[in-house]
């Protein structure tokens, strides 16, 4: 019984992986916005990224 369950589970995992890959899913978190004004192309400064105040790493060991 465990083997049958595992087989079903395995096919589900493979199917899920194929689905995710085919539909272009990603493991990265990306912020999606809609209706960005066309003026950005002419005036890039008019767009403000939500990541604009990122505190970068400057250390090293």
Q: Is 39 in the site for other proteins (CB under 8 A)?
A: no
Q: Is 14 in the site for other proteins (CB under 8 A)?
A: yes
Torsion angle defined by CA atoms of residues 33, 35, 39 and 45, in that order, rounded to the nearest 10 degrees: -20
Q: How far apart are CA 46 and CA 38, in angstroms?
A: 10
Residue numbers 17-36 binding other proteins by CB under 8 A:
17-18, 20-28, 30-36
Position of tokens 């049958």?
4
Position of tokens 């194929």?
18
Interface positions with other proteins (CB under 8 A): 1-3, 6-7, 9-10, 13-14, 16-18, 20-28, 30-38, 40-41, 44-45, 47, 49-52, 54, 56-61
């Amino acid at each position: 019984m465990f083997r049958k369950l595992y087989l079903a589970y395995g096919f589900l995992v493979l199917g899920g992986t194929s689905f995710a890959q085919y539909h272009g899913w990603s493991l990265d978190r990306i912020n999606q916005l809609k209706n960005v004004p066309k003026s950005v192309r002419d005036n890039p400064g008019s767009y403000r990224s939500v990541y604009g105040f990122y505190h970068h790493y400057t250390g090293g060991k």
